[in-house]
Amino acid sequence: MAMLEVDDIHTYYGNIAALKGISLTVEEGECVTLIGSNGAGKSTTLRSISGLTPPRTGDIVFEGENITRTPPAAIVRLGISQSPEGRRCFPRMTVRENLDMGAYLRRDDGIAGDVERVFGLFPRLQERERQKAGTMSGGEQQMLAIGRALMARPKLLLLDEPSMGIAPILVERIYETIAEINRQGTTILLVEQNANYALAVSQRAYVLETGTVALSDSSAALRTNPDVQKAYLGG
C-alpha cells in the first residue's frame, strides 16, 4: 500500500469547485511532482492533504489512516508537513524562531540537532539565524520555509512552488537540496509550475488541468512527451 493515497477528492472554495476528482498516490521514499498551469488545483491539492481545505467528497489515506477530515495539527503529528505557496514565513520572528515553530508539536530532545541539520542543508540560514524573516530575500525565505517544514521531522514533505520568484541560480541550489532531502529518506510531494526542475528531481509526475488529473507517468517519460514539452517545458 502506498504511503499516501488520494482518492477522487473534490474540494470547494465556497461553491466553486477547485478540485473535481483528483486521485494520486505517493510511495514511501519517492519524490512525486504535480505540474500544471495557474489555477489547475495544485496548491488546493496540497492544502487538502494538510487539512487546511478538507475535501467535500473523496478520501485521503496516509499510512493506512483516513485523514480526510483530520484537523491540520493532527496531520502534522502523523508526519506530513508543508512548505506552502508564497513561503509564508512568520515575518516578525527570527530565522531561529521560525525553525522552532516548525518543531511546535515536538517534545523530543532532537530539536537542536535538527536545527543543525537544516543549517547544514541551507548554510545561508545559519548566517541569518537572528534576522527577522520578513527582512530576508525571497530565496532566503524559501529556504527557511523548507527548513521550517523539515523541523517537524516529516515522513512526507509537501513543497508548493519552491522556485517561485527566485533567481535561476538559486533555484538550482534549492533543487539540489530538495534532491538531497529525498536521498536522506524523506518522501516528497512537490508542486511546480517550473516543470524542468520538477521533472528532473522527481521519479513520477501528475499533470493537473482545471481540477483533474490530465496525465500521469514517470517523470522521465513526461519530459519527452511532446504535449508536456509544449505546454510546460517551453519547448
**Min. distance of Cβ 26 from ligand ATP in angstroms?**
18
Instruction: Examine residue 154 and tell whether it contacts ligand ATP (CB under 6 A).
Output: no
- Which one among 3, 26, 43, 189 touches ligand ATP, defined by CB under 6 A? 43
Q: Which does 13 bind (CB under 5 to 8 A by kind): ligand ATP, Mg ion, another protein, none?
A: ligand ATP
Instruction: Examine residue 41 and tell whether it contacts ligand ATP (CB under 6 A).
Output: yes
Q: Work out the end-to-end distance of the chain between its first and last CA atoms, rounded to an integer number of angstroms.
A: 36
Would you say 206 and 198 are in contact if contact means Cβ atoms under 8 Å apart?
no
The count of other CB atoms within 10 Å of the CB of residue 180 is 12
Q: Which does 193 bind (CB under 5 to 8 A by kind): Mg ion, another protein, ligand ATP, none?
A: ligand ATP
Instruction: Examine residue 177 and tell whether it contacts ligand ATP (CB under 6 A).
Output: no
Q: Which does 134 bind (CB under 5 to 8 A by kind): another protein, Mg ion, ligand ATP, none?
A: another protein
- Which one among 33, 44, 48, 50 touches another protein, defined by CB under 8 A? 50
- Which one among 40, 67, 198, 207 touches ligand ATP, defined by CB under 6 A? 40
d(CA 14, CA 27): 32
Give the residue nearest to Mg ion (CB).
43
Binders of another protein among residues 68 to 127 (CB under 8 A) are: 71-73, 76-77, 81-82, 84, 88-93, 97, 100-102, 104-105
Instruction: Examine residue 182 and tell whether it contacts another protein (CB under 8 A).
Output: no
Determine whether 25 is exposed, middle or buried from the number of CB atoms within 10 Å of its CB (0-12, 13-18, 19+).
middle
Instruction: Examine residue 148 and tell whether it contacts another protein (CB under 8 A).
Output: yes
Instruction: Examine residue 18 and tell whether it contacts ligand ATP (CB under 6 A).
Output: yes
Q: Which contacts (CB < 8 Å, 24+ apart) does range 51-56 have?
A: 51/75, 53/11, 53/13, 53/18, 54/11, 55/9, 55/10, 55/11, 55/19, 56/10, 56/11, 56/12
Q: Which does 125 bind (CB under 5 to 8 A by kind): Mg ion, ligand ATP, another protein, none?
A: none
Which residues sit at the interface with ligand ATP, rule CB under 6 A? 13, 16, 18, 36, 38-44, 85, 193
